[in-house]
Amino acid sequence: MKILVFGKNGQVGRELTKMPHVLALDRSVADLSVPGACARAIAEAEPDLVINAAAFTAVDKAEAEVRLAQRINGEAPGEMARACAALGRPFLHVSSDYVFDGSGRAARRETARCKPINTYGHSKLEGEEAVIAAAGRWGILRTSWVFSAHGQNFVRTILRLSDTRAELQVVEDQIGGPTPAADIARALMCIGRAMVGGHPGGLYHFSGQPPTSWAGFAREVFARTGRQVSVTGIASSGYPTPAARPLNSRLDCRKIAEDFGLRAPDWKAGLDKVLAEMEGVTT
């Protein structure tokens, strides 16, 4: 089996590259901002499965670079899906909780209405719609609050800030599920292999449990690292950003458990593994 992965250097992509039968591509080989680049890569590789773990993930930056976000998150996944459909190969795409508006307190199921509130969310929804419109064999995995020992993520940022500060103010009214990139990669491989074997795929939610706030996440990081840092929870209104954030990012993950036996990961256990890995990580 040959599994082609886009997004080699991203958080999820790095985890996928550790798995067997994976050919992972980075921007130097397949630049998603260039029309046709990813389709050519798929045609040349002739894989059994394609996984798109690449994305424009700078949520605030997307407000100023709308066209680039649309191109990478919205158009490129559609090109990949069409290329896979032409070859008769399954395509698996990573999406986001940001396709929802964050209203209410309930965890959203896959059938919930999408209503993004920022450019990033709109671009991710456009990507989902393009994948589905390609009319091939597709799977979409929505996840949230991704973290790992590499790249730009909350765990690495909050630890860096604590190097020079003993007190931090962190948003407490946004609630969601921190999700280890390694668990996302394993879920993608499980779904992908099933699709190669004939499973029809579909739309699934997969995020860490139990739900917490960013402030709660920060406190857990410091508790597990033994850092004496005071975390004060604040409202989102006290930390204005270019892009609005959904207050409720809870995802209902029952469907993926029923179809594949994949239970929502325990993010605290995942955090312990990431922190252990970070002891030897510099990038």
Number of C-beta neighbours around residue 41 at 10 A: 20
In the residue annotation, 120 being an active-site residue is answered as yes
7: left (phi over 0), alpha (psi -120 to 50) or beta: left
Cα 33 from Cα 41, distance rounded (Å)? 14
Active-site pick, 98, 120, 204, 239: 120
Contacts (Cβ under 8 Å, ≥6 apart) of 263 = 253, 257
DSSP 75-101: IHHHHHHHHHHHHT--EEEEEEGGGS-
Cα 114 from Cα 125, distance rounded (Å)? 8
Cα 138 from Cα 81, distance rounded (Å)? 7
For the annotated catalytic residues, the residue numbers are: 120
